[in-house]
Structure formats: structure tokens, C-alpha cells
Amino acid sequence: MTGEKQSTLRHKESSFSKTSLSFKEKVRTADAGDQRQKGVLRKMRIAAVIRSVVVLLVIGLTLFLANKLMDSSEKQNNSEHLTESKVKPPCGMETRCNANHFPFKIISGAANVVGPHICINDKPIMNSIKNNIGKGLNIALVNASSGDLIATDFFDMWTGDIKLLVNFLHKVKLGTIVLLASFDEPATKFTDEARTLFSELGSSLVHDVKFRDNWIFVGAKPIKEKSPFEQILKNEKSKNKYGQWPEAIEMEGCIPRKMD
């Protein structure tokens, strides 16, 4: 009996040992599985981080390239703007003229303070800087074929001698462009003869020019029709910008060259 009990006891111990070993193997297997799962999760996290970094890099590169393209476009626009500014006609003109035309710009005087400005063929020909203007009527004569300046003069229409203006107009030769800008007072000394001479040069408004009106005009000799280049701003106290004088007026355009 004792031998059988011992044998049974050894059998039980052997079974317990096997069971214990089996349990430990299962634990080790489970631990190994957990480790593998943790490894997989770690790799997934790393992959997710890498993908996020890649996405951020792509976004950053896209924004960088877009910014470069915008800067390049802006620089190109600025370059085009500067190029346009460089070729902008002189005398502050906005008008562009075709071939066989002379660009011109005229600004009347402002009250009795700021003198007039006459520009033709890309050159200022009468202004305060040139010191060839005065109160009254400022007139420039230009060759209608070449655009060369022939003469400039001004005539006091308040206290001056109207005969000087009349004689000047009588001497205008055929093939001449006449440009005029008033300053301060353009009409007090006017006579019918003087007005008629301007009318023959193409003026349609000369008979309406009155005390302290502003008047600018481009005519020619000879001329078949009335000039399209003429403006008057009336002296009206309720509308005047400078008290007893209206504001300055300006005009620009293209004068056809006389083709021989």
C-alpha cells in the first residue's frame, strides 16, 4: 500500500509539473503575443507619424511654391508697370497718338497765380519754367508738317495793345498749328477783328470768351472746319473755384500732321 501511495503521489506530482509547465508556456506564449501586438502598434504609430510628417512637408512645399509663383507674378506685373511708366508720354499725357499725329496737352492758368502750360510733340514749349508766359493770351505757333516750334508770345488782354495780337495773327503762315492758353484775363481788349481772326483759325467759341473766363484752343492755318480742340470755362462767381476766377481747364489730344 505504501508503495502504491508513493507511486500515486509521484504520478500526481508529475501531472502537476506538466500542468504547471503547460501554464507557463501559455503565459510565455501570451506574453510573446502581447509583445508582437505592441510591436505592431508601435510600427503603426511610427508609420502614422511618418505619414503626418510627409503630409506636412507636402503642404509646406506646396505653399512655398505657390508663394514663389505669386511673388514671380507680382514682380512681373511690377516690371510691366514700370515698363509702361517708362514709356508714358512726357508732359503727363495719357493720350497715345498714332503715326503722323502730334500729341499735345494744354492747361490754362489758374486764377492770376499759376501760369499756363503748353506741350506738343512730347516737349513743353510754354510754361513758367521756360519763363515765356504772361497774363492774357499765351500762343505758340508750330510747323504743321515737322512739328518744329516757330514762335511763342503772350498778349496782355487787360491793359495791353490789341494791335500787337492782331498783327501777330495776321503774320501766321499757311501750314501752321496754333495753340492757345489763357491766364488771368483773356477778353477785355478783344475787338471784332481779333475774334474774327481766331474764328478763321478754327475757333467756334472765341465770340463767347468773356471777362476772366478760362479758354484753351488748338487751331490751324488753313483749316476747313471748326477745330475739335477748344474749351471754355465761364467765370461764374457761384461756381468759381478761386473766388473771382474759375478753376484751370486742360485738354490733350492728337493733331494730324500736314502731309505735303
Q: Crossing angle of helices 192-200/162-170, nearest 10°? A: 30
pLDDT tens digit sequence for 233-253: 999 999 999 999 999 999 999
Grid cell locating 27: 503565459
Domain spans of the chain, in order of start:
1-87, 101-256
Grid cell locating 232: 471754355
Strand order in the sheet with 136-143: 149-155, 136-143, 176-183, 214-221, 230-233
pLDDT tens digit sequence for 111-128: 999 999 999 988 999 999
Give the number of other Cβ atoms within 10 Å of residue 67's Cβ. 10
Its pTM surpasses 0.85:
no
Say if residue 106 is exposed, middle or buried (CB neighbours under 10 Å; 0-12, 13-18, 19+).
buried
Grid cell locating 181: 492758353
* Window from 40-44, 49-53, 68-72, 192-196 with minimum mean pLDDT: 68-72
